[in-house]
Amino acid sequence: MQLYNTLSAEERAELIDQAGKQRLTLSFYAYAKIEDPKKFRDDLFIAWNQLDALGRTYVAKEGINAQMSVPAENFEAFRETLEAYDFMRGIRLNVAVEHDDHSFLKLTVKVRDKIVADGLNDETFDVTNIGVHLKAAEFNQILEDPNTIVVDFRNHYESEIGHFKGAITPDVETFRESLPIINEQLKDFKEDKNLVMYCTGGIRCEKASAYFKHQGFKNVFQLEGGIINYAKQIKEENIESKFIGKNFVFDHRLGERITNDIVSQCHQCGKPCDNHTNCENDGCHLLFIQCDECKATMENCCSVECLDTIHLPLVEQVKLRRGLQVGNKVFRKGKSEKLLFKHSGELSDKSLAVAENKEHKPKDIRQKIKKVLLGKAEHYYVKAQIGLFSIENNELNIGDKLLISGPTTGAEEYILEKMLVNGKENTTAKIGDKVTFEVPFRVRLSDTLFKIVS
């Protein structure tokens, strides 16, 4: 009985690409009393593993909180695994606005004390006495009321790339920090103002709305299903988006576009940009906003120090990290003096630029063509418009029709006419070779290289 992952992220990514089937990214949560979270966790893992479902899920005695990637063909079967439990019958599944087959590459189901780290003692107030749920049209309407105060209950790195116009955006790194700050800031408005709150998928507001009602706020409202559900509704109902920019998400994509407005800047050069990245240095992993030009120049690093570090021999890098917290423990979310153009707290509703419209690009490209994995992008030389790729699988030849695919690049096709293999012009590249060739579009380090075979 398999209760853990047996494949690495890289192996899983290759299997997904070879399968060539569309996957859906979705999230859901439910508060309920779960007597045996460990058994609940094991049962879910077994059921989901059989459906090739991947993602990150937390279960606790108070309920479940999940972000998942599910094969489209298994969507209804996945829903059935949830509705086998009474408290999840009819549960709302927040399906992502944008999909990426690599949004999650492992199935992780963990038992936690709480499904959201809120720092609250649930025994001191009625957690079921929540605020009024508002659908997108209702949310838009209440925002027009001058008696309304709207609060973003996400963290600074989330709100910086996108938020509702006029919202209070606390300069916090965790949800638990925002609760006392907002309570103190709005203490004089408990009786006569509409306290309207929102978050990514709704789960933070479920607890926050109950907490603020307990604190004496009379008129408490929350966006049903969060920004994810709001984006779906405004598209289906063709209504105006009061949200501007991108919605930060906690998977490989790190964001999905709601409007074409870019409201944030590259933290290194100040150019309008809303693409997050993690510093390439394994001893840093700082989360920050980085434009394509800085990404190429700095090789995904947040500073010159980190850039120098990644070029050291691996043994030297390990020595530098010895005794320090690394990996997930050092994962820092955008707070560093090195980030010259970082903005937190009170954010502008002004659009700095308009994102490139990629609607002309083919949808669900993996369903429409047959391809084989070749390798991945390692560098992009901006001025020369040349991409560097490592060949990890199969053979590459002059005349091959290629597909370069990634969350920002989209899906670009290209016929290879000339290339350098390990620095010398050649007609064939094999596994282990490094190849460079001209690319008439920008390439990112997260891009994958495929050969189109039909």
- What amino acid positions are annotated as catalytic residues? 199
Nearest Cα to Cα of residue 376 among 315, 320, 446, 318? 446
Report the distance separating Cα 405 and Cα 396, nearest Å. 16
Q: Is 207 buried (19+), middle (13-18) or exposed (0-12) by CB count in 10 A? A: buried
Report the distance separating Cα 46 and Cα 230, nearest Å. 32
Within 10 angstroms of residue 88's Cβ, the number of other Cβ atoms is 17
Q: What is the distance, to the nearest Å, from the Cα of residue 387 to the centroid of all Cα atoms in its chain?
A: 25
Q: Which residues contact 314 (CB under 8 A, 6 or more apart)?
A: none
Give how far Cα 390 sits from Cα of 116, 277, 409, 435, Å: 40, 21, 18, 6
- SS3 at position 221: strand
Q: Which residues contact 188 (CB under 8 A, 6 or more apart)?
A: none
Dig out the tokens for 86 from the structure: 């009474």
Q: Which residues contact 145 (CB under 8 A, 6 or more apart)?
A: 194
- SS3 at position 248: coil
Q: How far apart are the first and last CA of the chain?
A: 39
Report the distance separating Cα 382 and Cα 2, nearest Å. 46
- Residue labelled with tokens 């997260």: 446
**452, HSE (Cβ side, Cα atoms, 13 Å):** 19
Report the distance separating Cα 235 and Cα 224, nearest Å. 16
Torsion 362-15-379-270 (CA) sign: positive
Contact between 395 and 428 under an 8 Å Cβ cutoff? The reply is yes
